[in-house]
Amino acid sequence: MAVPDAAVSFLLENVSQILTYNYHLIADVKENIEKLEGNLKLLKSAMVDFSKYNDDMEYVKQIIKDIKSILWEAEDAIDNYLAQAAIQKFRKGVIKFYHQFTDYPKVLRDIGKCIEEIGERVEKITADRVRDGIEALNFGAINNLNRTAKSAEGSRVEEDQVIIGFDGAAEKVEELLVKGPETLEIVSIVGMLGLGKTTLAKMVFKDPDVDYEFMTRVFVYVSEEYQKKEVLLKILGSFTKINDEVSGMDEVRLENHLRQQLEGKSYLIVLDDVWEPTHWDDFKFAFPKNNKRCRVLITTRREDVARHANPTNPDSVYKLDFLNFEHSRELLRWRVFYKNECPPALEEYEIKIVEKCDGLPLALVVIAGILVNHPDRTDWWRHVSNSVRDYIAKDATQATKVIDLMYKHLPNHLKTCFLYLGVFREDFEIPVWKLVRLWISEGLIPQEGDLDLEITAEQYLDELVYRNVVMVGQRRSNDKIKTCRMHDTLREFCKKEATEENLFQEIKTDNLDMKLDQCRRICINNVQISNFLSPTTSGKSVRSFLTCPKEDMAADLKLVSNISKAFKLLRVLEIPSLISPRFSPDLCGLVLLKYIAIQIIGGIIPAVFSQLLNLQTLIVKTSSPTLEIKADIWKLSQFRHLHTNASASFPPPSSSDKTKGKEGAPPLPKNVQTLCTISPESCNREVFAQTPKLKKLGICGSLSKLFQASSKANLFEYLRTLEYLENLKLLNDDDMSSKLYSLPPKKSFPPHLTRLTLSHTFLGWDEMSVIGELDELEVLKLKEFAFQGTKWEPNKGGFKSLKHLFIGRTDLVVWQASVDHFPKLKSLELNGCDKLQSFPHGLADIPSLQSVVLHCTNTNVANSARKLQVLKLKQANKGNKSTNFKLSVYPPEH
């Protein structure tokens, strides 16, 4: 059981926001809430002391339980008051007058009295029991210092660079893949939980020899709970484009389609984590048995799965063993010290830890996450070595004991964020931008001075990665984490612990009728929501309704309405897989909402949406090309992020919103950081005056008028004032009549732009000279026909910071480029450049170039790119250095 100082921090943050943003709703109980806030600050101080001691003691457990109960009561009372007051505020005319003589004043008086009583109870527990409890604790316990993990910058070692003890295993698996019969062969890696099957499979998958042998390579996660159609689509999407026709196919047609696409190709398909023999049967008919020496690589915990997949060749199974002592020690050292060295004073304890982990990589990695906090403290290493019990060895059922030890040593500010990851379904690669928005909306990220909540949240994620409890899925070109995922065992631990802590409850087929009275959050991943939700469903304390299913489903407005009726205190509504015909006005009754992710067919957000004064994040996916937001979003004082796949338009800020809030309130905060994507018509002086902290902007529509210097709506006149803008997307209509003829000079661009995306702008290649002058530009994505013309020769000395370049479909024929044009380029991707004559060999001289991806190109470009690959290898050999350069061609040349 975790000490609830994080819960106190959250409630304090909630109270602080109420006093800041909703003061006009709480006039009757403002004094009581302020008093409660003071008592909570004292309680939080006491909780910091609690975090230093053993929370397994029964006395401490009881205190924690009592405190949590009071905190939840306080939270419920405040939120109920706020909801009632907000609803009353938006009632108008006769309805409002009528309610003044009915139950409304009595409801608020009762809730106000409840808040006062809770404040007195918090004051008492702060003054008496907590203090007495701390005096009664064992002060000899080891102090769990909650030191912030050191920054990973400069010292971080990537997960796939710390692969110890697998060289021999990799050679044998590679041999099984590249040798053997010309027909299709199924190869398996078998081993117990935590041995590193996935790590080994990835190591082999990324090997240059394997890359060369198989022109079409796909890596997909299967796991215990999977949807066949989703896995098939992931395989297809790895080497071909998924259109609406393909995504709408049923499983049988999709399986046949995949088989046809793979026919005639030399392919390697990795199916990671296959649980049952029948799971293999689900996919085997999708893989054609041609004579291209194709392979399917399976990882599984069970040998019978491997034998079932390839019953005629017992030699196709590789059994992964435990690490020996030396390899175990080396892995631990790299994870803690980032080198194969250990201070002599710590070697005694290092040996004990390595011996007790008994060659299990998962145990070593998790323990390293504990040691990494204090890599030079003898007492800390002694404590950890004594805590790793001898039974943590080769029994898979005991692996959770290691995780439990790790969890107890996590700083309290990370514990809830770590457990929260369990709301996502297994095998789901979690987008970091979504995770950050959810953490913030859930109140898990405290305000630290003037630091943006998003920056703090990303730092928390970095710490979890640094401690080896979260895996990096993909990284962006600027090295920030793009997606992350969890080991299945860690995820199961999170779900179990979160249930005990009442952080969230997972709705499953065997608990559809569970009582929700005490639930704070519910998540639904593998159950039809309609089977759980009914007009009688009720959860008076539920704050979050989260779904992460594998497939979208149609939902009528009645189903969405049931959500708003069942959970009146919702802060987070994550239902992006429910396709509703239009936005349900009933959701606007959920006045405490901070986060909404929905999918609608219609393209309108009604004016009543303005009632959601606490909203921070709006995510809307729609089948409409446009999204009309009729609400006045500028009155939403906490609003931070708009994400939509449509071109969104909204009314400009009214004159009263430019200076201050209503009723004499201080000026409304201008916290908007993301507007993606919005219509050109919404790009005006008034909007950008309200978004001085804007970091990401996407504009979709007819852009030509915004680029006319004579126009009153000259886009760059406004953009150059946005000092925080880092990411700009300009997505023009697919219409030559709206083409752009020129770009403004460098001085008109935002001063700190690092990412730029253009699409269908039809600019001439000579305009690239302007973009090349942008000093801080690191990522440039030229999507379909961003530029047109047959020849591009960049200016020397340009693109001095560019690291990633993407060029989509274009009519480019000749491209002359070298290190003089792209001195820091790390990765290059060409997609659909089928008219290009050859690949620029001058790029071989760029020392930083590590990756070239060619998709849907021609044979000449692919062959010339392979010559570049040879040049890079020769350069590396000449300098006696290893090369990380990788060339990928999808699909194989035709």
Q: What is the pLDDT of residue 662?
A: 47
Mean pLDDT of 681-698: 92
Q: What are phi and psi of 231, to 5 degrees?
A: -65, -45
Q: How far is Cα of residue 299 from the mean position of the Cα atoms in its chain?
A: 25
Q: Which stretch of 106-115, 335-344, 489-498, 656-665 has the lowest confidence by average pLDDT? A: 656-665
618 confidence band (pLDDT: 50, 70, 90)? very high
**What is the 8-class DSSP label of residue 261?**
H
CA distances from 241 to 231, 261, 296, 832, 850 (A): 15, 11, 22, 11, 25
CA–CA distance, 366 with 378 (Å, rounded to integer):
19
pTM: 0.78
Straight-line distance from the first to the last Cα atom of the chain, in angstroms, rounded to the nearest whole number: 60
Q: Is the pLDDT of residue 303 over 90?
A: no
Mean pLDDT of 13-25: 63
Contacts 24+ apart (CB under 8 A), 714-719: 715/680, 715/683, 716/744, 716/748, 716/749, 717/748, 718/683, 718/684, 718/685, 718/688, 719/688, 719/748, 719/749, 719/750
Which is more confident, 370 or 283? 283
Q: What is the pLDDT of residue 696?
A: 97
Mean pLDDT of 63-74: 71
Place of tokens 């005639």: 264
Q: What is the pLDDT of residue 872?
A: 77
Mean pLDDT of 399-411: 77
Instruction: Please write the tens of the pLDDT for every residue from 170-226.
Output: 889 988 888 888 888 899 998 877 778 888 888 888 887 788 788 788 898 887 778
Q: What is the pLDDT of residue 47?
A: 58
Identify which of 838, 837, 805 has the alpha carbon closest to the alpha carbon of residue 821: 805
Q: Which range, 82-91, 112-121, 443-452, 523-532, is most confident?
A: 523-532
**What is the 8-class DSSP label of residue 521?**
E
C-beta of residue 43 within 8 angstroms of C-beta of residue 12: no
CA–CA distance, 308 with 242 (Å, rounded to integer):
31
In a 13 Å sphere around the CA of 436, the CA atoms on its Cβ side amount to 20
Q: What are phi and psi of 685, to 5 degrees?
A: -60, -40
Q: Find all residues with CB under 8 Å of 159, minimum gap 6, and list them.
A: 199, 471, 472
Q: Is the pLDDT of residue 882 over 70?
A: no
Q: What is the pLDDT of residue 18?
A: 64
Helices within 238-302 (DSSP H only): 244-247, 251-262, 277-281
**What is the 8-class DSSP label of residue 548?**
-
C-beta of residue 361 within 8 angstroms of C-beta of residue 326: no
CA–CA distance, 371 with 608 (Å, rounded to integer):
53
C-beta of residue 688 within 8 angstroms of C-beta of residue 667: no
Structure tokens at 407: 């969890």
Type of residue numbered 812: L
Mean pLDDT of 218-245: 84
CA–CA distance, 361 with 379 (Å, rounded to integer):
24
Q: What is the DSSP string of 764-799?
A: EGGGHHHHHT-TT--EEEE-TTSEE-SEE-PPTT--
Q: What are phi and psi of 657, to 5 degrees?
A: -85, -10
Q: What is the pLDDT of residue 27?
A: 64
Q: What is the pLDDT of residue 749?
A: 92
Q: What is the dihedral of CA 655, 657, 658, 660, to 10 degrees?
A: 120
CB atoms within 10 A of CB 200: 23
Mean pLDDT of 828-837: 92
CB atoms within 10 A of CB 281: 11
Phi-psi region of 293 (alpha: psi -120 to 50; beta: other; left: phi over 0): left
876 confidence band (pLDDT: 50, 70, 90)? low
Q: Is the pLDDT of residue 420 over 90?
A: yes
Place of tokens 């504009």: 699
CA–CA distance, 555 with 142 (Å, rounded to integer):
53
Q: Is the pLDDT of residue 46 over 90?
A: no
CA–CA distance, 216 with 261 (Å, rounded to integer):
11
Q: Is the pLDDT of residue 116 over 70?
A: no
Q: Which stretch of 522-531, 599-608, 808-817 has the lowest confidence by average pLDDT? A: 522-531
> Strands 471-475 and 481-485: what pairing?
antiparallel
Q: Is the pLDDT of residue 689 over 70?
A: yes
Q: Find all residues with CB under 8 Å of 220, minimum gap 6, and list them.
A: 231, 234, 235, 238, 269, 270, 271, 272
What is the 3-state secondary structure of 323-347? CCHHHHHHHHHHHHHCCCCCCHHHH
In a 13 Å sphere around the CA of 103, the CA atoms on its Cβ side amount to 3
Q: What is the pLDDT of residue 545?
A: 96
- List the Cα angle 357/358/360 in 5-degree steps: 70
Contacts 24+ apart (CB under 8 A), 874-878: 875/844
% helix, strand, coil for the chain, step of 5: 45, 15, 40
Q: What is the pLDDT of residue 844?
A: 86
C-beta of residue 49 within 8 angstroms of C-beta of residue 553: no
Q: What is the pLDDT of residue 717?
A: 82
Q: What are phi and psi of 620, to 5 degrees?
A: -130, 120
Q: Is the pLDDT of residue 676 over 90?
A: yes
Q: Is the pLDDT of residue 807 over 60?
A: yes
CA–CA distance, 91 with 396 (Å, rounded to integer):
59
Mean pLDDT of 258-275: 88
- Residues paired with residue 35 on neighbouring β-strands, in sequence order: none
Q: How far is Cα of residue 435 from the mean position of the Cα atoms in its chain?
A: 5
Structure tokens at 418: 């770590």
For 525-584, strand residue ranges (E) read: 544-547, 553-554, 572-580
> Strands 430-431 and 216-221: what pairing?
unpaired
Return mean pLDDT, the chain.
81
Q: Which stretch of 198-202, 313-317, 467-471, 795-799 has the lowest confidence by average pLDDT? A: 467-471
Instruction: Please write the tens of the pLDDT for every residue from 425-470.
Output: 887 889 999 999 999 999 888 877 778 899 999 999 998 988 878 8
Q: Is the pLDDT of residue 806 over 70?
A: yes
Dihedral sign (CA 57, 44, 636, 110): positive
Q: What is the pLDDT of residue 227?
A: 82
SS3 state at 95: helix
Type of residue numbered 858: N
| pLDDT above 70 coverage of the chain, percent | 79
Q: Is the pLDDT of residue 100 over 60?
A: no
Structure tokens at 121: 């109870």
Q: Which stretch of 54-58, 351-355, 480-484, 609-613 has the lowest confidence by average pLDDT? A: 54-58
CA–CA distance, 635 with 613 (Å, rounded to integer):
7
SS3 state at 278: helix
Q: Is the pLDDT of residue 526 over 50?
A: yes
CA–CA distance, 219 with 799 (Å, rounded to integer):
34
CB atoms within 10 A of CB 476: 15
